[in-house]
Amino acid sequence: MSWKKYLVEFIGTFFLVATIGFTVLKPGDAGNLAPLAIGSVLMVMIYAGGHISGAHYNPAVTLAVCLRGKCPPSDVVPYWAAQAAGAAAAAAVVLFTKGLPAVEASVLDVNKSLLVEFIYTFALCYVVLNVATAKATEGNSYYGLAIGFTVLAGAFAVGSVAGAAFNPAVALGVTLMGLSSWPNIWIFLAANFAGAVVAATVFNLLKEPE
């Protein structure tokens, strides 16, 4: 049933955003090890939910998979809604648990942030399409590891530039937690969705006939 897919998307996105909040927000943050926890939880949630929903947990990934032809257009908006709800619920739980800490929103350089968010969202969607939707890699056991490590690598590489969202739902979650300001959310939305579109275009150009 469709609701099962949406519930899985809610759960996976919830744990992704919750892990970001718990490891990044003080007190009790994980410091420089935060990307390791974030990439790891994404990996395990992908393995947990991949057989039910495809384990997108990311509106940009949903768009890329739809453009690739492996997600019905009728599922796109419900997936986005479930992902956004999971992110919002995670932000509420983190803020409650952390005692509503005072948080200073990061100051972003617009051009640099657009660039790195676009590049690594492209990388994430490109990896997802190749390891989780391509016929040549069908049935592999490494897809979750590949996707989780893409996020981990991106977070270590450019987390200091733009916060390393690579995911509009994550952007919503970190904004609700105060780690980013509302006027900056368009940066993530524009760069993430653009990265998804370009990744799907490149994948469709490179794939073998099926």
Instruction: Single out the residue of 57, 12, 46 nearest to residue 140, CA to CA.
Output: 46
**What are the domain boundaries of the chain?**
2-206
pLDDT tens per residue, range 44-90: 999 999 999 999 999 999 999 999 999 999 999 999 999 999 999 99
The answer to whether the Cα torsion of 87, 8, 147, 65 is positive or negative is negative
| Per-residue model confidence (pLDDT) at position 124 | 98
Q: Do residues 195 and 118 make contact, with C-beta atoms less than 8 angstroms apart?
A: yes
pLDDT tens per residue, range 117-166: 999 999 999 999 999 999 999 999 999 999 999 999 999 999 999 999 99
CATH architecture of 2-206: Up-down Bundle (1.20)
| Percentage helix, strand, coil for the chain under 3-state DSSP, each rounded to 5 | 75, 0, 25
State what percent of residues in the chain have pLDDT above 70.
Answer: 99
Alpha helix stretches (DSSP H) within 25-167: 34-53, 59-68, 73-97, 110-132, 143-162
pLDDT tens per residue, range 98-118: 999 988 888 999 999 999 999
| Per-residue model confidence (pLDDT) at position 1 | 62
pTM of the model: 0.96
Instruction: Single out the residue of 12, 52, 13, 18 nearest to residue 34, CA to CA.
Output: 18
Q: Do residues 35 and 61 make contact, with C-beta atoms less than 8 angstroms apart?
A: no
- Match 């909040």 to its residue by tokens: 21
Residue 210 has pLDDT above 80, yes or no: no
By CB atoms closer than 10 A (0-12, 13-18, 19+), residue 44 is: middle
Gap between the Cα atoms of 108 and 125, Å rounded? 23
